[in-house]
Amino acid sequence: MVLWRVPFDSEEIQTTIGIVHILEDRCKGCGFCIEFCPRQVLEFSTRFNTKGYHPPLVIKPDGCVNCHYCEIICPEFAIYSVEDPTADQQAAAPETEAT
Amino acid sequence: MTSTKKQIAHPLDDLLRTDRIPHIWCPGCGIGTAFASCLTAMKASGIDLKKTVMVSGIGCTARGAGYVMLDSYHATHGRAIPFATGLKLANPELNVVVFSGDGDLFAIGGNHFIHGARRNVDITVVCVNNLNYGMTGGQVAATTPLNFKTTTTPAGNPDGPFNLPLMAYASGATYVSRWTILHTRDMTESIKDALLNRGFAFVEILSPCPVNFGRRNKESALDSLRLYQEKTIIKNDAHPTELDIDFDRGVILGKFVDIERPTCIDRYDSTCRPPELFNEEKAA
Amino acid sequence: MRPAVLTGEHFMTGDVACAEGALAAGCLFFGGYPITPATEIAEHISGRLPEVGGTFIQMEDEIAAMASIVGASCAGVKSMTATSGPGLSLMLENIGLAICTETPCVVVDVQRAGPSTGLPTQGAQGDMMQARWGSHGHYEIIALAPASPQELFYQTIDAFNLSETYRVPVLIMTDEMIGHLSERVVIPEAKAIHTVSRPRARGRKDRFKPFEPGPNGVAPMAIAGEGYRVHITGLTHDERGYPDMTVEGQEVMMDRIVGKIRNNLEHIIQTESYRLDDAEIVIVSYGVSSRTSLAAVDEAREQGIKVGFLRLITVWPFPEEKIRELAARVKGFVTVEINLGQIHLEVERSARGQAPCVLVGHAGGTIITPERVLNVLKESF
């Protein structure tokens, strides 16, 4: 999401960092998680799973904000996210048009 | 960071028969999403899962009963609601959830839906509406919109579809809502409310059927989801008469009915089991 | 609350006796729909069930009625419905569901003349083959035929016991004559009535297999809400209850569903013999036609003809062995039934050509007279 100005409290707000877990062999390559991830963290991998589908791949490992949308939109119980307990919570700053 | 180890468990695995996953639903089918949402709602509602049972008829959505790790009954086509009525009346402590499709619940099962709602049997009916009969290959259903192509209407559907929330409202349901699988959190919250509603609760969920319906109407699964994103409007408390499905005009989503009235068992107990009979026995 | 067992001497119709028999057996759920001549069963039981802590519901059609009793049984409650020919035709699919899911329940068919709407207020015995083969696919089922209101009382209890023991729907094939006949019915003390309940699941809840047969071929049943979390489906399934869409799976499931009845025939089949020891001609009959047959036997004996009577109490499974044994030593069989030859075909089949078989049938709507039976008997033999 691109913002048109930097919020005044952007230094104080902590954005959650998440870790995406993928159960590759359950994936059927529908693309919902890839299409609707708000941070465009996922892409189709070039790998095949055992059923011949391309499961998703996390291309922006630090971009996940643990919103769980991939988890809830996935029809296959094949993907979910958890909060990263180790990450520095201030690391993810919002993208703005100025930057 | 990603983890792709085979041993990891999905948060909903404790409510799934994981030995039967991956399930049979097609890539891009929304039933899995609606089903996952139903499981999440069951957990969030706090109801006793040991006493929660899922009943279904026949069809793609109805296969859900085979994947849930609860007492589940995969009955005959269209007859999930009377089966559920028998279960509930025999053991009122059971939380009975009917998870079935639009053809099963409203065509062959239409009469049973009407009477279940009329009686206000305390069950929750989750209907995944994919606008056709998916399991058998994509035939026209009572919910197929006008002019759409199906295998039994190759020239386009000449009949108009039902307005499901209107039918539920007219029959006496105490909770009526409609969501799409894209509106996942609203859908989950709504199923949770439906589970906790005392009475006949109905949730309609619009879902893509990419292989048997979408393919014949040039609509991929992602096309359907984009349609849900762009051509729907949330209007809680809209009157059920406004709710017919027309994607050109825009489909209304939301919660339309949320009331309470005496359930089937409440009335049976107060009318047919008069307390005098019990007092008579106590006195004797 | 009034007791479930109304001990004492009564003058009641067959329909009412049936309802009282169900209550005596422990029935606590009736899902019904009105149809002549079975309506009185629903009417009577609708008032009695709440008195004994049970529940009655009149559903929107017979299909729903049958579905509701299968559901109630899955929740652990003994359940029943009652109907006539047209209703039985509607119930067949869900009877199939009960057969495949091995759910105990009792279905009473108070037969009337068919086909279709037929003669709604006049009895017949034309649904006998439908009882056996009406639902699609191959299966075994149990069907009883009472010959009086008193017997209808006891057979309803037997029907529940058989249903619970073998986890199979049991049909009571009575008819409008018995259903609407008022006769003396003696109801014994509750402690004299033997009732059976389904074998129940025990043991670890996470390892329970809902269709793993016990020693007599019947699997113990898990009730909804106990924590066994079973999956019950009408699809061909394996011992875990999971759909098994293979030919082997079908064979195994069928072996169990059919085997549990066929391997227990000696415990299930009941017949009654009258003057059979030295009989040269055997009348075979059931239900209301038994009364005709008894009178015919006595009259024939008066005239010096050595006739005996084999009454079928259990019509399905059919007592093939009994007929085969008799066929070896008698001159012939006469089947008396109010239809144009249904059980007659079974008698003929079981006799295997060893003795000729004759039918005294009727299109339906009235009882067969003993005189007619005697005339046919004399003409044929």
All domains of chain B in start order, with CATH: 16-283 (3.40.50.970)
- At residue C13, the 3 state secondary structure works out as strand
- Please give the Cα distance from C99 to C122 (Å, whole number): 30
Is residue A15 domain-resident?
no
| Mean model confidence pLDDT for chain C | 97
> Could you tell me how many helices (H) and strands (E) chain A has, helices first?
2, 4
Which residues of chain C from 22 to 61 reach within 8 Å of chain B, CB to CB?
A: 28-29, 31, 50-51, 55-57, 59-61
- Please give the Cα distance from B32 to C115 (Å, whole number): 46
Band the pLDDT of A98: cuts 50, 70, 90.
Answer: very low
Cβ(B198)–Cβ(B124) under 8 Å?
A: no
Is residue A83 domain-resident?
yes
pLDDT of residue C207: 86
Provide the shortest C-alpha distance from residue B220 to chain A (in Å). Answer: 10
Q: Tell me what percent of the residues of chain C surpass a pLDDT of 70.
A: 100
Cβ–Cβ contact C201 with B under 8 A: no
Which residues of chain A from 72 to 91 reach within 8 Å of chain B, CB to CB?
A: 72-78, 80, 84
Contacts of C249 (CB under 8 A, 6+ apart): C236, C237, C238
Residue C71 has its nearest CB partner, among B74, B86, B280, at B86
DSSP bridge partners of B127: B100, B204
Residue B66 has its nearest CB partner, among C69, C224, C233, at C233
Q: What is the ipTM of this complex?
A: 0.96
With beta carbons under 8 A apart, name residues in chain A contacting B128: none
- Tokens 């509701």 map to which residue? C68
Q: Do chains B and C touch (3 or more CB pairs under 8 A)?
A: yes
Provide the shortest C-alpha distance from residue C165 to chain B (in Å). Answer: 20
Is residue A88 domain-resident?
yes
With beta carbons under 8 A apart, name residues in chain C contacting B51: 225
Report domain extents, chain C.
Answer: 8-192, 270-380
In total, chain A counts a number of residues equal to 99
Provide the shortest C-alpha distance from residue A84 to chain B (in Å). Answer: 9
**Contact: B91, C75; criterion CB under 8 Å:** yes
Q: What is the 3-state secondary structure (H, E, C) of chain C?
A: CCCCCCCEEEEEEHHHHHHHHHHHHCCCEEEECCCCCCHHHHHHHHHHHHHCCCEEEECCCHHHHHHHHHHHHHCCCCEEEEECHHHHHHHHHHHHHHHHCCCCEEEEEEEEECCCCCEEEEECCCCHHHHHHCCCCCCCCEEECCCCHHHHHHHHHHHHHHHHHHCCEEEEEEEHHHHHCEEEEEECCHHHCCCCCCCECCCCCCCCCCCCCCCCCCCCECCCCCCCCCEEECCCECCCCCECCCHHHHHHHHHHHHHHHHCCHHHHCCEEEECCCCCCEEEEECCCHHHHHHHHHHHHHHCCCCEEEEEECEEECCCHHHHHHHHCCCCEEEEECCCCCCHHHHHHHHHCCCCCEEEECCCCCCCCCHHHHHHHHHHHC
Asked if the domains C8-192 and C270-380 are classified in one and the same CATH topology, the answer is yes
Q: Which fold has domain C270-380?
A: Rossmann fold (3.40.50)
**Contact: C230, B115; criterion CB under 8 Å:** no
Cβ–Cβ contact C243 with B under 8 A: yes
**pLDDT surpasses 60 at B79:** yes
User: Least CA distance to B269: which residue of chain C?
Assistant: C50
pTM: 0.94
With beta carbons under 8 A apart, name residues in chain A contacting B184: 69, 72-73
Contacts of C31 (CB under 8 A, 6+ apart): B82, B85, B86, C57, C59, C64, C65, C66, C67, C68, C69, C72, C79, C81
Residue B82 has its nearest CB partner, among C28, C59, C73, at C59
Is residue A91 domain-resident?
yes
Q: Which amino acid is at A59?
A: I
**pLDDT surpasses 60 at A95:** no
Provide the shortest C-alpha distance from residue B93 to chain C (in Å). Answer: 8
Q: Which CATH superfamily is domain C8-192 in?
A: Thiamin diphosphate (ThDP)-binding fold, Pyr/PP domains (3.40.50.970)
Cβ–Cβ contact C97 with B under 8 A: yes
pLDDT of residue B4: 46
Q: Tell me what percent of the residues of chain A surpass a pLDDT of 70.
A: 86
pLDDT in tens, B145-195: 999 999 999 999 999 999 999 999 999 999 999 999 999 999 999 999 999
Number of A–B residue contacts, CB under 8 Å: 90
pLDDT in tens, C216-247: 999 999 999 999 999 999 999 999 999 999 99
Band the pLDDT of C43: cuts 50, 70, 90.
Answer: very high
pLDDT of residue A10: 78
The count of structural domains within chain A is 1
pLDDT of residue C3: 93
**pLDDT surpasses 60 at C358:** yes
Cβ–Cβ contact A51 with B under 8 A: yes
Residue A21 has its nearest CB partner, among B8, B33, B222, at B8
| Mean model confidence pLDDT for chain B | 94
- Please give the Cα distance from C162 to A85 (Å, whole number): 61
**pLDDT surpasses 50 at A75:** yes
pLDDT of residue A99: 42
- Please give the Cα distance from A79 to B200 (Å, whole number): 33
End-to-end CA distance of chain C: 58
Is residue A34 domain-resident?
no
**pLDDT surpasses 60 at A97:** no
Cβ(B276)–Cβ(B199) under 8 Å?
A: no
Band the pLDDT of B41: cuts 50, 70, 90.
Answer: very high
Q: What range does the domain containing A61 cover?
A: 39-99
